[in-house]
Structure 1
Amino acid sequence: MMNRRTLLALVGSGLLLAACASTPNATVRQPIVFVHGNGDSASIWQTTVWRFEANGWPRDRLHAIDLPYPLARDDDAKAQPGRTSTGEHMAFLKTEVEKVMKATGAGQVVLVANSRGGYAVRNYIQNGGGDKTVSHAVLGGVPNHGVWAVKGFREANEFAGTGPFLTALNAPKNATGDEVSGPVKWLTLRSDNNDKFAQPDGLWIGAKGTPTNVTFDGPALKGAQNVVLPRVDHRETAFSAGAFDATWRFITGQAPQTTAISEQAQPVLNGKVTGLGLSSTDPASGTYSNNLPLPGAYLEVYATDPATGERRGAAVHRKTVGADGVWGPFMAQAGVPYEFVISAPGYAITHIYRSPFPRSSELIHLRAERLAASDKDSKSVVTLTRPRGYFDAGRDRMAFDGKALPGVPPTGAGVSSSKIKQMEDAVRPISAEFNGEKITGRTWPAADNHLVVLELTY
């Protein structure tokens, strides 16, 4: 019988997974490549990967890409610092697919995408050779017919339904008018009416009362299997349990054993520390999102009291990250919440509070933040964020510091973060609740260049 040390070594090296996958009764699973959306990172697929693992999909065949500059250009044909064109996006995906195929020896992959990531998937399959390397494509909340489709309005942008990029992608592929390229099998997942980027009114693009000429079924494609998920928001079309269930059924032809995330006794966590680019094209915003490592950043991890957010003793992990930005590995304890503290020149000391981690993951990416000029008069600044979905006051059970979430409208799912600016000097616990998940952190003084993030997992 293997002792515990040998078992951990085998898990760490991947040999145990390989042994399990090679047993006579094991089903050989294709590699899956997950493609995030505009401004997002590989970390957004964390819970989806966990659900695949919980159903027996080998971890070494689940690969989430990190586009270095994840934001789309304003004009797809014009270079813009810190942003990618549709061509650059597709080329990056193509390279990642080739890496995965080489590493696994697989002849084809499955592509699963959210939002803008679906544009790269469609472009790669139609124009980059992906028709030969991809067996299945799953598009969650992809605005396939645009976020707007108004003649003469920002048509150089890739999100314009009447622009050259989407017009070419949606051109009929055969006599029946299919919008998707064969022989790939296609699935689209969309909300019934709660996706902020598939709305007939321009509210969420700053044009309330103006028709977008896009309908709720804008993400659907002729020739694909099109599935509607009731009341999900834009991100939940890809990251919810319902989206996982539909994706698993489409890929395998069977129902998953579970949509729950099974727990491990000692999760091993890892990821990279990233920062923010300085924008020269938009001085008002000051920064832009990127997925580049932040070398030299110093990370500390503390176990915290779930009721008060106070630290339980000294740091349980410390590291100054190198050129790759990797901050782990760190062996966590089941059921224990953690505080991650990032210190880096030019950034605020960023305190990120997270719920207990049920499973191991290499997708725990951590971003250093900066205090906004408008927040520097506050005693403490605390942001609640939900990376894998939005806040819907009419649908969700939620509270932030015991009250309604500031900045979240009474209807619709269009906001994924909420900020509290505390004007009292007292350092105290601060909690947030969302549909059963609860996080408690501590306020930290903004005057000393601290800011606080409560990050939801689900």
Structure 2
Amino acid sequence: MPIRLLSRHRVPTLRRALVAVVAAALLPKAAAAQTPVIFVHGNGDHAGLWDNVIWRFESNGYPASRLFAVDLPNPSSSSTLTAVELNRSTPEEQTAALAAFVTRVLLTTGANKVALVGSSRGGMTIRNYVRFGGGAAHVSHVITGGTPNHGVFAIPTVQPDGEFNGAGPYLRALNRGTEVVPGVKFLALRSDSLDKYAQADGAGLGMKGTATNVDARGPALRGALNVVLPGTDHREVAFGPAAFRAQYRFITGRAPTHMDIVPDTVALLEGMISGNVNASPTNLPLANAVITVHAVDAATGQRIGAPVYRAVTSHTGRWGPFRASPTARYEFELASPDSAVILHVFRMPFPRSSRVVNFRFPTPPATRADSVSVLIARPRGYLGLGRDTVEFDGTRATGIPPGVPTVDRAIRWFGAREPITVRTRVNGETIVVRTQPGDKRRLVSAEFQRE
């Protein structure tokens, strides 16, 4: 076979081509080097609560393709460890659902192991999977945030077979001997004093004056790296910026470069719509739900022009993708034949893309004649009088207890026959909403997601 010599003019061209080929080959490997991270929500919650944490990971260069948040189908716990209750779950059911999700992530990414990050009950599910469900072979890191690892109480005579009883069989088994699993790195994040489920007195559980036999150290794990996040509440210890910093450092071995969320040029939004069934919140897909997105004026909440997106969900309950502007404000209007509520959700601008912009139809709130209801919701954190500022039109919200933050919402009724603008505020974040009083089924919600 004859040999052809390359001319000097072709060498630079070939070199550039080889560099491009090598770079293309290296990029997937670089991404593959990042351990896939799976975020696991808590009792009654859904995957969408992890958006801030996911955005912060992405802002520090973590590939979006390696970040996952699971929606466990029936997220609320059963009354006992083995009770079969409609739209509630036992620990074993939660563990099986998590195991299946981990398998899908491993197959999707080609990785050998994943890191698991859990909020509250999600951390208990992770521990059960790793210790008793075969997960140790597939998990490199475990992070629990505000997880009641020793119970929200430890009283043998109160709900003796309950999942959250530190004196019950479930947590005694998880904590027997070593509280961590050899070969897996463990980090336990906890508050110093403001976790509602780590209090010595049972007041927050409806048992005022009863010793819970649990205190602020309850979420700690013997044998784990235990980190205290001062001033955080039960959810902030998983979803807040201080929690992210600890999570990122533990998984990557280095401190994050960015604590703020770095905006992208476009935000592709999608998610799932679910509802409450048998008085229990679910993450079961809701078909035939209608979602309409309106661009709104930030100062008045009034809609600007025609809807910018509309869809009807199929059996998957999924909506999107919707191409949003990272600087625009939107109102998400949701209706379903199966819901007695027409939901209007206002949020701050979405700085980055998200696959977990989830919506759940709530149970109908109490109604009042000739009035409309406006809800302030803070699902990624709690509210406590004295620590948090919560206002409707400059007036302090009612129904928020002082001391340890224990509620995540406040509601006010506005007597109006015509649409009105309501300015809602939580600490340094303000969301302006617009009421829709023409139908008593309408609930207007300002969902606060920042800190």
Per the normalisation by structure 1, the TM-score is 0.90
Distance 1:239 1:410 in 2: 22
Match of 1:433 in 2: 425
Q: CA RMSD in A?
A: 1.7
Alpha-carbon deviation of 1:369? 3.2
How far did 1:203 drift?
Answer: 1.3
Q: Which residue of 2 aligns with 1:126?
A: 131
Separation in 1, partners of 2:378, 2:62: 26
Q: Does residue 345 of structure 2 align to residue 352 of structure 1?
A: yes
Q: 1:20 touches 1:26 (CA, 8 Å); kept in 2?
A: no
Where do residues 242-281 of structure 1 align in structure 2 (5 Å cutoff)?
242-277=242-277, 279=278
Aligned residues: 427
Q: Any idea what SS the aligned residue of 1:94 has?
A: helix
Q: Which amino acid aligns with 1:387?
A: P
- In structure 1, the partner of 2:443 is 451
Structure 2 residue identity aligned to 1:290: T
Q: Hey, what does 2:195 align to over in structure 1?
A: 195
Among 156, 160, 169, the residue aligned to 1:155: 160
Q: Are the counterparts in 1 of residues 31 and 63 from structure 2 also a CA contact under 8 Å?
A: no
Distance 1:24 1:294, change over 3 A: closer
Q: Displacement, 1:378?
A: 5.3
Q: 1:447 to 1:179 in 2, by over 3 A?
A: same
Residue 21 to residue 148, structure 1, CA distance change in 2 (3 Å):
farther
Which residue is equivalent to 2:236? 236
Q: CA separation of 1:26/1:275 partners in 2, compared to 1, >3 Å: closer, same or farther?
A: closer
Whether the aligned pair in 2 keeps the contact of 1:394 and 1:412 (CA below 8 Å) is no
Q: Is 2:400 aligned against 1:395?
A: no
What is residue 80 of structure 1 aligned with on the other side? 85
1:419 aligns with 2:424: no
Q: CA deviation at 1:396?
A: 2.6
Larger Rg: 2
Q: Quick check: 2:32–2:111 contact (8 Å CA) kept in 1? A: no
The secondary structure found in structure 2 opposite 1:329 is strand
8 A contact 1:115–1:140 mirrored in 2: yes
Asked if the contact 2:418–2:437 (Cα under 8 Å) also holds between the matched residues in 1, the reply is no
TM-score w.r.t. structure 2 length?
Answer: 0.92
Paired position in structure 1 for 2:327? 335
| Letter paired with 2:138 | T
Give the superposition deviation at 1:24: 7.8
**Which 5+ residue runs of structure 2 have no aligned equivalent?**
1-22
2:311 corresponds to which letter in structure 1? Answer: K
Are residues 358 and 92 of structure 1, via their aligned partners in 2, closer, same or farther at CA, if it must alter by over 3 Å?
same
Offset at residue 56 of structure 1 (A): 0.8
**SS where residue 406 of structure 1 aligns?**
coil
1:36-435 to 2 correspondences below 5 Å: 36-172=41-177, 178-277=178-277, 279=278, 287-347=279-339, 348-372=341-365, 374-377=366-369, 379-435=371-427
What's the CA shift for 1:180?
A: 1.1
Q: State the secondary structure of the residue aligned to 1:72.
A: coil
Q: Within 2, Cα distance between the matches of 1:204 and 1:378?
A: 34
Equivalent pair of 1:379/1:447 in contact (CA under 8 Å): no
**Corresponding residue for residue 3 of structure 1:** none
- Aligned residue in 2 for 1:175: none
Aligned counterparts of 1:126 and 1:411: Cα–Cα separation in 2: 36
The answer to whether the 8 A contact 1:75-1:156 is kept is yes
One-letter amino acid matched to 2:352: R
- Cα pair distance change 1:408/1:182, threshold 3 Å: same
CA distance in 2, matches of 1:210, 1:424: 45
TM-superposed CA distance for 1:316, in Å, is 0.3
For residues 421 and 446 of structure 1, do their structure 2 counterparts lie closer, same or farther at Cα, with a shift above 3 Å needed? farther
Conservation of the 8 A alpha-carbon contact between 2:286 and 2:317: yes
SS at match of 1:270: strand
Q: 1:21 and 1:298 mapped to 2: Cα distance? A: 43
Could you tell me whether the CA contact under 8 Å between 1:342 and 1:350 is conserved in 2?
A: yes
Question: How big is the shift at 1:346?
Answer: 3.6
Give the corresponding residue for 1:6. none
Q: Distance in 2 between matches of 1:68 and 1:117?
A: 13
Cα distance per residue 1:8-66 (max 9 Å; x no partner): xxxxxxxxxx9697178768201011110000001011111001101111111111110
Q: In structure 1, what residue type is equivalent to 2:313?
A: V
